[in-house]
Amino acid sequence: MYVLALDQGTTSSRAILFTHDGRIAGVQQREFPQILPHPGHVEHDPEQIWESQLAVGREVIAATGITPEQIAAIGITNQRETTVLWDRHTGAPVGNAIVWQSRVSAPICDRLLADGLQPLFRRKTGLVIDAYFSGTKIKHLLDSQPGLRDRAERGDVLFGTVDSFLNWRLTGRHVTDYSNASRTLIYDIHQLDWDDELLGLLDIPRAMLPEVVNSSEVIGVADPQWFGAPIPIAGIAGDQQAATFGQACFDEGDAKNTYGTGCFMLLNTGSEPVESRHQLLTTIGWGLDGKITYCLEGSVFIAGAIVQWLRDGLGVIENSAQVEELAATVEDSQGVIVVPALVGLGAPHWDPHARGAIFGITRGTTAGHLARAAVESMAYQSLDLLDAMRKDAELDLHTLKVDGGAAVNDSLLQFQADILGATVRRPVVHETTALGAAYLAGLATGFWSGLDEIRRNWVLDREFVPQMPAAERNSRHARWTKAVQRSMHWEED
């Protein structure tokens, strides 16, 4: 028997089959187009999300030669704050999805901040007012289409993050889980309910919102037309919470960092939310057996996406895997620093008006130096997050588990260990986002007996120990900090 994870990401949809020991039995992936109507605006076609996710799910079953009846459960994990609105009666989207990276609702956020509402939103949701989150994206869509809000008030138009949209298509049920709900800016993470005061401030009708369920429970059954059998949908989690679960970060103080399109560091803080004093987010990790686990999170908007920019924007590499080879052509970045604020800066800066910048270029600068600086930018941004996390949690994190696409890059992970001054540990299975969704689904259906069994599945692939002298680490960090400060507030009048 197997568990199928549907991993719907920002640039691609994947389906991965996992065995009982947490190993990958098969994987299929498809990229889909990014829609960039204006600078800083990012959209997706929801139908392309659905079609690509359905296709890879079918393909992985066919490629591995199993029958649908051999799949014990399906888990769904997703790009989180991306916002989809669709018609309740037809299931058709009312427009493009607004992607988590998009800055389209930054003017709405600016008005909320000017009205002094940051403390209110922060206290209830654990988040900061930023265009990153779903709430202001919903308001933007409702404001942009005449009559759409009226339809939403009647319950004819539904909102969901990508997990909710996929669940609707698969089962006909309008749900999301605690982890995704906690990323909307309209969900009270203490009361565990949509907040009427925040909904009123954003003029969002409650009738369009999904039911919030546990991250691990049988939510419904996929219609047999999709995968050939009525398979239980039994796990949902936003991608970063799923990766934290997949890394077996079940204990307070456990931390992981995921290198994907963005870069996301989460620290398990246990059953009580910890209010950040250093511009991190307080978020729900997962709901399991009626209990909520909270996390501190640092969110970086552009991590692996900077490598895609080197490929698609500059054309200095033909595929993303070549970046490590190109970066290895030079001993270091020769003082070049890339600040990848292509859609603003996330934690701990939260500046939607920052823009990408490259500093330290000389006549001797080559494509290799640029590639190395781009890769190092992921590690520098992670250092900013870990520094804030150490202060908020009042503990010194000596070990960091890592995963995600860029975690295969050994030179990145060695530099990450060096610049953090902490040991970095990569598991054998680094597709932990999908694995976490599989674990949540498998726990709900008895495929796995409990957390101890999952812990035993975690196997170390390689450990990276810091080697950089402290003086050099501090000097490099100071140069990075100066570059970040110069990239900020670029688009402000």
For 10-55, write each residue's pLDDT tens digit: 989 999 999 999 999 999 999 999 999 988 899 999 999 999 999 9
Bridge partners (DSSP) of residue 31 are: 12
pLDDT of residue 253: 86
Exposed, middle or buried by CB within 10 Å (0-12, 13-18, 19+), for 471? exposed
* Ordered DSSP codes for 366-409: -HHHHHHHHHHHHHHHHHHHHHHHHHHHTS---EEEEESGGGG-
CA separation for the pair 325, 328 (Å, rounded): 5
Please state, for a pLDDT cut of 70, what percent of the chain lies above it. Answer: 100
Amino acid type, 106: A
User: Nearest CA to 404 among 2, 14, 4, 131?
Assistant: 14
User: Nearest CA to 192 among 100, 83, 286, 279?
Assistant: 286
H/E element, 484: helix 470-487
Task: Give the CATH number of domain 2-239.
Answer: 3.30.420.40
pLDDT of residue 322: 87
pLDDT of residue 196: 98
The residue written with tokens 């953090």 in the block is 420
CA separation for the pair 109, 163 (Å, rounded): 25
* Ordered DSSP codes for 340-372: --BTBB-TTT-BTT---EEE---TT--HHHHHH
Bridge partners (DSSP) of residue 293 are: 286
Could you tell me whether strands 71-78 and 232-238 are parallel, antiparallel, or unpaired per DSSP bridges? parallel
CA separation for the pair 311, 306 (Å, rounded): 9
SS3 state at 285: strand
pTM of the complete model: 0.89
pLDDT of residue 245: 97
Bridge partners (DSSP) of residue 85 are: 159
The two structure tokens encoding residue 376: 């190092």
One digit per residue, pLDDT tens: the chain, 493 residues?
999 999 999 989 999 999 999 999 999 999 999 999 988 899 999 999 999 999 999 999 999 999 999 999 999 999 999 999 999 999 999 999 999 989 999 999 999 999 999 999 999 999 999 999 999 999 999 999 999 999 999 999 999 999 999 999 999 999 999 999 999 999 999 999 999 999 999 999 999 999 999 999 999 999 999 999 999 999 999 999 999 999 999 998 899 998 888 888 999 999 999 999 988 999 999 999 889 999 999 988 888 889 889 998 888 888 888 888 898 899 889 999 999 999 889 889 989 889 999 999 999 999 999 999 999 999 999 999 988 988 888 877 788 999 988 888 899 999 999 999 999 999 998 889 999 999 999 999 999 999 999 999 999 999 999 999 999 999 999 999 999 999 998 876 5
> Which residues of 289-349 form beta strands (DSSP E)?
291-300, 337-339
* SS3 track for 132-177: CCHHHHHHHHHHHCCCHHHHHHCCCEEEECHHHHHHHHHHCCCEEE
pLDDT of residue 261: 81
CA separation for the pair 105, 128 (Å, rounded): 14
The two structure tokens encoding residue 385: 């997050």
Exposed, middle or buried by CB within 10 Å (0-12, 13-18, 19+), for 116? exposed
pLDDT of residue 86: 98
Residues with Cβ within 8 Å of residue 148, at least 6 apart in sequence: 85, 94, 141, 142, 157
Q: Could you state, in order of their start, the residue ranges of all structural domains in the chain?
A: 2-239
The residue written with tokens 């290895």 in the block is 328
Compute CA distances 87 → 155, 158, 181, 405, whole Å: 9, 6, 20, 34
CA separation for the pair 60, 18 (Å, rounded): 11
Asked if residue 295 lies in contact with residue 337, where contact means CB atoms within 8 angstroms, the answer is: no
Asked if residue 353 lies in contact with residue 377, where contact means CB atoms within 8 angstroms, the answer is: no
pLDDT of residue 492: 67
**Could you tell me if residue 351 is left (phi over 0), alpha (psi between -120 and 50 degrees) or otherwise beta?**
beta
Q: How many helices (H) and strands (E) does the chain have?
A: 17, 23
The helix-helix angle for 239-246 and 432-444 (nearest 10°) equals 80
Terminus-to-terminus CA distance in the chain, angstroms? Answer: 59
The two structure tokens encoding residue 143: 């404001």
Asked if residue 179 lies in contact with residue 281, where contact means CB atoms within 8 angstroms, the answer is: no
Asked if residue 148 lies in contact with residue 157, where contact means CB atoms within 8 angstroms, the answer is: yes
CA separation for the pair 12, 366 (Å, rounded): 30
CA separation for the pair 266, 401 (Å, rounded): 10
